[in-house]
Amino acid sequence: MSAGVANNGIPQRDMLFIFRRYALPILTDAVLVGAAYIAALFLRFDSIPQEYLQTLRVFMLPIAAVYCLTNVAFGLYERLWRYASSTEATGILGAVGLAGLLLLVSDALFTIRPVPLSVVIMGSIFAAGFFAATRYRWRLVTGFLWRLRRIRQGAGGNRVLIIGAGEAGQLMAWRLKNWAAQMYEVVGFVDDDPQKLGMQVHGVKVLGNRSRIKDIVDSGNVNTIVIAMHRVSGADFREILSMCEETSAKIQIEPEILETVNGQDGQLRLRDITVEDLVGRKAVPVDAQACQRLVTGKTVLVTGAAGSIGSELSRQVAHYNPRMLLLLDNNESGLYDLGLEIGLLPNKVPFRLLVRDILQENRLEDIFKEQQPDLIFHCAAYKHVPLMEEHADAAVLVNVEGTRILCDLAYKYQAERFVLISTDKAVEPESVMGATKRVGEMITVTMPRDGATRFAAVRFGNVLNSRGSVVPTFVKQIERGGPVTVTHPEMTRYFMGLLEAVSLIIQAACFTKGGDIFVLDMGETIRIVDLARRIIRLRGLRVGEDIQIRYTGPRPGEKMSESLVASHRETMAPTAHPSIREVRANDYPSRTALLQEARALVETARTDGQRAVIERLMRLVGKPTADTASTVRIS
């Protein structure tokens, strides 16, 4: 027999486990039952009659056995009581109640009762209390130690106000008091539910609604505000955030409740508010099965793959297991970094890095001829509005001619789908960039429908934290100590998160029947200056004190606000996804006339000056400039 095996053949380790899990708790409960009945006898009699003591010695073991058996029946020995909530106490009450009822019936059957009925009742009550005390001893001990620490060490350094007294806020208060009492002191809750006003949660009072945030922070010397609300609209979130920004307190947010609960290291999962939180958008799920059917087993070409949208599109497409992923860009450093990232994905998607310029038509045709791409996501474009005002020729060549080349190749080599990534700046454009993207849209959606390829464009606004977004600019300016430059106090833009935008692009590609323009639901417009103020506050700084905001005036080509559809010639219709709309135009230009004008525009970009390029471009999209001759309007 080995040293690790007992005489009965059961490993000693397993015997120890059985003893700790079952035998020891049952023995403990038996002793507690005995103590409970002795206490009941002392409470029932001033001087306990000798016959009852003698009877109790005889019947104590059966009585304890009844309680232990009902405890087994109610699963009390199968629970981790260290982490049990108050609702687990119902199991104790049920087990003790059933045992007491069985003993009362049994006791009543004797002509001379061994134990008074009142003793059975009081003994059961005491037993329930003893069972609960032993099982919740960890909660009792930690509560006592917390209060002792508070007395000896004083309040935590951070005085916290929690916004939201719902489940998320209550859990956060409990964790702050039990896991981080040395660092945090919960001052109170703020909640808009009038039924909760003045009530206490974990010993912490609900002090008022959102309108009292500033008063509570000032009177309570609050250092940190924690927003713990997971079911709140974007408008409400931004209103609450605005009220918090009027205070001097640091503002943080509790992440999703499951992330908080699952923290295995006992650390709080508080985080700073992100720019995505400021927009207040909740990601809408896409039809993953439809996207899987679209991509799986296909060869997918992504142009502009090294850019913000292109790289995220490459990641998400890779998730759907394409046969081959073709990543094309003229930015070889960015493309190399993306290749390293795609190569580390767990599903090991085959991919190729293609360092190409989309104006190299012969080189592109070699790729189409060799790889036969099924899906093309055309992200490559010049996107910076003020810069393209100075380089209109480059914008025309890349955004117009590059799109024309790719559309023709997709049609010639019978790709399944071609999706142009467009912008809200293409709607009634005022800028060179917007006008070139509008021409790109028209070239795409007027492609012939007699071939195998379905052509579509997807239009949306600004993507948070993309390279062309104002957010990275604001962050850099803040890091340098300011000022943060904003063009105009009333300028507004649409914003959405990068992951959400890309997932909806793939979903829109599933919907196209050919010749479609889709627009993504961008939610509400946001004032740029409000976004700047909030980013400053997220850094723990104060506007006007630590960081100044300076207005510079609108730059060339910039609108005060953007639209998602052209009011005079476009309408929106719903699709099968709530965040995707189909744009329906009253009329589309003649493709023959469009291509004739587009070729002339491209030739002008190659040979003439910037002014001539801009004049011809704006005439093409129906925005004639001063001193230009009238011409046929194509858009």
112-135 tens-digit pLDDT: 677 788 888 888 888 888 888 887
Per-residue pLDDT at 3 exceeds 60 = no
Phi, psi at 630, each rounded to 5°: -70, 145
Q: Would the pLDDT of 267 be above 70?
A: no
> Tokens 């587009």, residue?
598
SS3 271: strand
Model confidence band, residue 378 (pLDDT cutoffs 50, 70, 90): very high
Cβ atoms of residues 131 and 32 within 8 Å? yes
Reply yes or no on whether the pLDDT at 178 is more than 70: no
d(CA 57, CA 458): 84
Backbone angles phi, psi at 162, to 5 degrees: -100, 125
Q: Between these two residues, 4 and 251, which has the higher pLDDT value?
A: 251
pLDDT exceeds 50 at position 328: yes
pLDDT value at position 507? 94
Q: What is the pLDDT, as a whole number, of residue 569?
A: 82
**Among 290-299, 388-397, 416-425, 490-499, which stretch is predicted with the lowest mean pLDDT?**
490-499
Q: What is the pLDDT of residue 94?
A: 87
Task: Over range 301-315, report the average pLDDT.
Answer: 94
CA distance 405 to 594: 15
| Cβ(322)–Cβ(349) below 8 Å | yes
Q: Which residue has the higher pLDDT, 323 or 96?
A: 323
Categorize the per-residue pLDDT at 152 as very low, low, confident or very high, splitting at 50, 70 and 90.
low
Region 487-505 average pLDDT: 87
Q: What is the average pLDDT value for the chain, to the nearest integer?
A: 83
* CA 52 – CA 476 distance, rounded (Å): 84
Cα–Cα nearest to 238, from 282, 210, 278, 209: 278
Evaluate whether 576 touches 511 at the Cβ level (below 8 Å): yes
Provide the β-strand partners of residue 457. Answer: 420, 517
pLDDT at 265: 41
Enumerate residues 6+ apart whose C-beta is below 8 A from 72: none
- Sign of torsion, CA 345 347 348 354? negative
Tokens 């049990």 sit at which residue?
Answer: 84
pLDDT at 413: 95
Structure tokens, 244: 């918090």
Q: What is the pLDDT of residue 441?
A: 94
Residue 145 is predicted with a pLDDT of 58
The confidence band for 531, taking pLDDT boundaries of 50, 70 and 90, is: confident
Model confidence at 617, in pLDDT bands (50, 70, 90)? very high
More reliable by pLDDT, 165 or 361: 361
CA 432 from chain centre, in angstroms, equals: 35
Alpha carbon distance 227, 240 (integer Å): 9
Q: Read off the pLDDT band of 359 (50, 70, 90).
A: very high
pLDDT, position 234: 67
Nearest to 40 by CA among 29, 58, 56: 56
Q: Is the pLDDT of residue 518 over 90?
A: yes
pLDDT for 2 equals 46
Q: What is the pLDDT of residue 412?
A: 95
Q: How confident is the model at residue 473 (pLDDT cuts 50, 70, 90)?
A: confident
Residue 67 is which amino acid?
A: Y
Say how far apart CA 596 and CA 356 lie, in whole Å: 27
Strand partners, 570: 585
Q: What is the pTM of this model?
A: 0.64
Q: Of the candidates 360, 348, 357, which has an alpha carbon nearest to the alpha carbon of residue 324?
A: 348
- Calpha distance 153→182 (Å, rounded): 8
Q: Is the pLDDT of residue 110 over 90?
A: no
Report the SS3 class of residue 569: coil
pLDDT in tens, 211-222: 999 999 988 888
More confident residue, 536 or 83: 536
Report the chain's C-alpha Rg in angstroms: 35
Among 196-210, 295-309, 323-337, the minimum mean pLDDT is found in 196-210
**pLDDT at residue 300 is higher than 90:** yes
In the chain, the amino acid numbered 393 is D
Q: Does position 6 have pLDDT exceeding 60, yes or no?
A: no
pLDDT in the model for residue 260: 40
Cβ–Cβ under 8 Å, residues 271 and 255: yes
B/e letters for 392-410, b = 16+ CB within 10 Å, e = fewer, are bbbbbbbbbbbbbbbbbbb
Most confident of 105-109, 466-470, 571-575: 571-575
DSSP character string of 365-402: HHHHHHH--SEEEE------HHHHHH-HHHHIIIIIIH
Question: Band of the pLDDT at 17, cuts 50, 70, 90?
Answer: low
Contact criterion met (CB below 8 Å) for 412 and 403: no
Q: What share of the chain is helix, strand, coil (3-state, %, to 5)?
A: 50, 15, 35
Q: What is the pLDDT of residue 107?
A: 78
